[in-house]
Amino acid sequence: MPHRFVFFLTAPLFAILAALLLLWSGPDLFASRWTGAALALTHLITVGFMLQVMLGAMLQILPVVAGANISRPQLLATLVNAAVATGALLLASGFLSYQPLLFELAAVLIGGGVALFIAGAGHALYGVPSTNATIRGLKLSLLGLTVTVCLGVLLAVAIDGSLALPLLQLTSIHLGWGFVGWSVVLLAAVAFVVVPMFQMTPAYPEWFAGRFSWTLLALLILWSVADSAGWQWLSPWLAATAVLAVAAFAALTLQLQSRSKRTRFDATQHFWRLAMLSTLAACALWLAASSWPTLGERSEWPLLCGILALFGGFMSVMIGMLYKIVPFLVWSHLQNLGRGRVLPPNMNKVIAGQQLNRQMHAHFVALALLLAAVLWPEWFTYPAGLALLVANAWLLRNLLAAVAFYRQQRLTIEETLTLVSAAPAETR
């Protein structure tokens, strides 16, 4: 199988673990965003699910979009996946037990795995001219990933209090860089290509695509400096401007979707629409809580904002992308195996459309129940955990079905090529 698959198959396993953790922890998980269980669940999704999908997607996108070929990609994928996956498990265990050794081991593994990936991707991108917004965004997203992981490693090492650091302030900056500097910048870089291509929409305006990533990174850098320096007269305004920029991207994507030439939306488009609507809702909630003290003092709003961003925004768009990337990879590799003599099946046959739609509806239900669980934890925590488990087990099932399809078709193609090669010349 293509080496990217190891990332894509690992990601749903961590979402399943997050669901099991929710079922095990129960309503207490929603008592605060600072509970050990809430932090563990957050990092199972951000490091275990999101980072795995994003690294795998970059391995696919870099050579196709930027012409940047990573040397020895199979070895790189195996090492990075193993390090990040093991580190994510240790990190979640650390939040549940608060054992400093677990945090330190997680920092070494996640930091080392990501450093290896950045070195490989950076080397591949070195010398590639930034001729379009996507290539520029991919380069800047690596900067965002570097800052995010460095801050995360610093927090993991300092969590036992051995270093006199402002942990809450560093956590806020780490969160901003992880959500915006890495995730949104990479998502936008990919969107500038895939939304017009796969969803048959007009292109993003050149003025927007060309400036978005730079603007977002500049705002993040200024906000980080202002927040670290304690400039309370400036820091909130810079943060609000960055949030408004993210909201503008989501709104523009929805507007382009509304102009799609497709007569009927497929599952991927529905996932993207949910993701952009959730992102707008998360941005609106953040802005409201920042300007309205009565709301800002409530413990529920950060949890609602986090669920909208993580499960509604990033997970939705990543699942939608998996349903495009995985069939394409399967089709591409089967085409190469056929050597132009045996044509591969259509991409739409790799994963049955009915299974895609059912998993999509399960994901939608899980998101709704998670939001309800924040407000009424006693009633909705266990249904939300069960729904999240079902949705991601279904996702894993669909991805494994694609693997099985690939293996079956590979055997068929190999047998057909053998028969063709063995046939007498005059019958060919």
pLDDT of residue 3: 61
Q: What is the mean pLDDT of the chain?
A: 91
Query: Which tokens is 165 given?
Result: 């650091």
Average pLDDT on 149-170 reads 85
Helix 5-25 to helix 316-338 angle, to the nearest 10 degrees? 150
Instruction: Give the CA count within 13 Å in the CB-facing half-sphere of 207.
Output: 0
Q: Is 326 helix (H, G, I), strand (E, B) or coil?
A: helix
Q: What percent of the chain has pLDDT over 70?
A: 97
Tokens 């520029």 -> residue:
136
Q: How far is CA 332 from CA 246, 268, 320, 336, 343, in A?
A: 34, 19, 19, 6, 10
pLDDT of residue 333: 84
Average pLDDT on 330-343 reads 81
pLDDT of residue 423: 61
pLDDT of residue 157: 86
Residue range 44-96, pLDDT digits in tens: 999 999 999 999 999 888 887 877 788 888 899 999 999 999 999 999 999 99
Average pLDDT on 233-240 reads 93
pLDDT of residue 284: 96
pLDDT of residue 383: 97
CB atoms within 10 A of CB 104: 17
Asked if residue 99 has pLDDT above 70, the reply is: yes
Query: Which tokens is 81 given?
Result: 């996946």
Asked if residue 164 has pLDDT above 90, the reply is: no
Residue 37 gets which letter from DSSP? H
Residue range 240-251, pLDDT digits in tens: 999 999 999 999
Asked if residue 2 has pLDDT above 80, the reply is: no
Q: Which domains does the chain have, with CATH numbers?
A: 5-410 (1.20.210.10)
Asked if residue 127 has pLDDT above 70, the reply is: yes
pLDDT of residue 237: 95
Most confident of 66-75, 273-282, 402-411: 273-282
Q: How far apart are CA 164 and CA 18, in angstroms?
A: 31
Q: Is 346 helix (H, G, I), strand (E, B) or coil?
A: coil
Asked if residue 342 has pLDDT above 80, the reply is: no
Q: How far is CA 211 from CA 29, 247, 256, 294, in A?
A: 40, 15, 18, 36
Q: How far apart are CA 72 and CA 80, in angstroms?
A: 12
Q: What is the DSSP string of 50-101?
A: IHHHHHHHHHHHIIIII--PPSSHHHHHHHHHHHHHHHHHHHHHHHHH--HH
Residue range 181-214, pLDDT digits in tens: 999 999 999 999 989 988 899 999 999 999 999 9
Tokens 């969803």 -> residue:
199
Q: How far apart are CA 174 and CA 166, in angstroms?
A: 12
Average pLDDT on 27-39 reads 92
Q: What percent of the chain has pLDDT over 90?
A: 68
Asked if residue 334 has pLDDT above 80, the reply is: yes
pLDDT tier, 358 (very low <50, low <70, confident <90, very high otherwise): very high
Sign of CA dihedral 291, 294, 295, 298: positive
C-alpha torsion 77→83→85→90, nearest 10: 180
Asked if residue 415 has pLDDT above 90, the reply is: no
